[in-house]
Chains A and B, each alone.
Chain A
Amino acid sequence: MSDVPYMPQIPAAGERVGATVDYEKNGLLGWIATVDHKRIGILYLLTSLVFFGVGGIEALLMRIQLARPDNDFLSPGSYNQIFTMHGTTMIFLVAMPGLTGMANYLVPLMIGARDVAFPRLNAFSFWLLAFGGLFLYFSFIAGGAPAAGWFSYAPLSEQPYSSTTGVDYYAIGLFVLGMGSIAAAINLIVTIAGFRAVGLTIRRLPLFVWMVLVTQVLILLALPALNASLSMLLIDRLMNGHFFVTDSGGSALLWQHFFWAFGHPEVYIVVLPAFGIISEVIPVFSRKVIYGYEFVAASTVAIAVLSFLVWAHHMFAVGLGHSIDVVFAIGSMLIAVPTGVKIFNWIATMWGGSIRFTTSMLFATGFLVMFTIGGLSGISFAAFPIDWQVTDTYYLVAHIHYVLFGGTVFAIFAGVYYWFPKMSGRMLSERVGKIHFWLMLVGFNMTFMVQHFMGLMGMPRRVFTYPDLPGWAALNMTSTIGAVIMGIAVAIFLWNLIVSFVAGEPAGNNPWDAWTLEWATTSPPPAHNFDLLPPVRSRRPLWDLAHPENPDWEHGH
């Protein structure tokens, strides 16, 4: 029997962290002026939610326009602005802030810290996001939103072909968002490096924190590439530069290389923290420790390294030549290996468990299959002659949505159902949550599964309408109906959030009987997070507390 002290017996042995006097104000000013990572995290999440609504409405407008061939619900100009803003919004104003919000709220709690390393910088990051997002949307009333697609390929994005100010708003808006992301990344890296509880070594970090850490390194390396490219685009547009203007000697392909040097790591920036959420949710609801912790963590690092070596797989159709295509195909195929390792470890975690299918676990289970579909169709792009047929078609639209919606968004839903009780002190309704999940699963597959076939049948992406070719109308109508079902599911989710926030069942400190440190404080936690920390002798300090007869540290974990 070990002599390791644990909290209920020896409070004095617990580490006392931070002041117990809460200086945070209440009311609106309290939220605007806050430097508390939890409030900032919630502000991020609410911002993400608002833009999720906006981006979702944009998606529905597109699906209404595409419901039947030769429709004139939207003009080509409006459609092109809307699809550009849909992509830009969902990537930069929904996925990134949603995950950053989760990280902001959870990382200090999960590592037993009082706050992030630089609370004021943290607030600054958030306000850059808020104003960057508003600035981007201001383009609608300033002469037209950007309409060159979310990756703004030059020379279409240059002055001669995009003469409204939309692309300028896009470039400056994303530049501001990029600064916020970089500041937040520095903040989280320093926090994780320097503010962990005693005993919480890097090999004991919760996997969510691990994946957030790797993601922040990706942000730090990738976002400057985007900001540099955006600066060059602005110099071209506003000061008659020639970086990407082909008529005066610039290179159209240079923009693509620069953009995807950021853009492919970006995919993992919005996927890795989702993997982190899944790595927390599946063990807790399977009542088992994560299977192959080291392999799940190391495969994350492998994905991050590979993500910088595959950018030109977005460019298989631009004519770089076979030798370059082959090199980038190898890197792209290799990414499947660490991703597969994760999927199998998650399944192995469920194997032999005692699985409680809460809404959170349902979304995590849905994630496993939906993300696998997106990952597998990704391999068909890496086998690049297939890419030569299906890239820039609806097959690709289906692929990215299986990765980013079936993957990232399903994981965020799993995370929201899992951590909402901690954040609000109240449980989300499980009954409503299950309706949300099943409607979402059906609507999502109805919308996007058929899009694989649309692409194979020759329908390109980013078209405001299409000719009435055999089969196209029926598939598009199916997709539109699916999108409406997804819209209803989201409305139910919002309703659940509001009603549960007001009148949900009280959650208590640890409603799921979970094992990481955020559950060792009240729900919601006080401004200073913890009065006392339990001893951290393994990856699951609260498991050790609850199971003194079989603590993890006895197994060397």
Chain B
Amino acid sequence: MEKPLYSLTALFSTPDALMHAVEATVKAGYTKYDVHSPYPVHGMERAMRLKTSPLGYFALAFGLLGAVSAVGFMTWVTLIDYPLVIGGKPFWSWPAFVPIAFEITVLLASVLTVVAMFVIFFKFPNNSHPLHDTPYMKRVSSDGFGISIQREDPLFDEAGVRQFLASVEGTDIAPVYFEEDPADHGQKLFDLRFVGLLAGVAIVVAGTTYFSLNSLMYVQPFSWMMEQAKQKPQAPSLLFKDGIGMRPPVQGSVARGFLPYAFKGRPEDAGKMLANPLLPTAAVLDRGRSSYLTFCSPCHGNFGRGDSRLAGQFPNPPTLHSEKVRNWPDGSLYHVITEGQNVMPSYAAQITRDNRWAVVHYIRVLQRAHFAKESDLK
């Protein structure tokens, strides 16, 4: 089968001869032609009647895109997503955004313009164009100047074009054929098979990496400070003879906030000698209330009336509003919470010293509220 014709080509020895030939080509009315030279020849765009390249508008659009998105992003971050005061400046410190906005503008404008030129304007990459690997191409890529008039030109007829090229002193006039199907010589970048190949490569590489790093060999590239030369609680240690990492405190050491209780088994003395060290401020009463509701209310009830839901299952817890309790000094209440009394256990382990005193204050509040006088309401 005869290969389909793509174009007729002719070579010229000097840029001047090429320029004349191009002017004649335009004059003759050919439109589907191309001019090839190893470097841009000055004035060729005028001779070929090419319109000014619109790439400048592309660059403007990409640059504006970069500027707007950079400023917009920084504005969103500093005003909406995570406002932070930095150096006492306003949140929207626009002068400080100028350098990054400028860099992003330049970045997008230059990279995208080049990509647009190659991919959209030139339909590159395309290595299957019929002109590739022809003797003609080998000449024009080094020192030749050439014109190629394509068959799809409406005025094309092989003999006529041959004659025309000879008349403008073209040499080496030669036909260029399509390698295969003419429909199959365009840009292949978005070809389904190519995109599929890329996707396949991505999946295989990602999968192999994942498998080999996670299953084949366990690699922990960086331990993020999780591995540290320190003794952790409850962990053994080779440093000590008994192999235990945690050491008992030195004899007689006292943990912070845990002074031994001086009135063990001496409730009368406690009542006489102890005074509440805290002032009944709102904060102290809040703490007292919180501890009371957590530890005391299950038996004594939320208001100290001894009416909790445990009533009837135990020996009934007593009310805190009895004559006896109301007349106790603060120290006695503290002593009972600390030591326990009858079936009530000690709460020293559950409630810190200060919070026990706060509970005492809160019980006084409950008592006063229970027997509220007219004057209290004023």
Whether both chains belong to one complex is answered with no
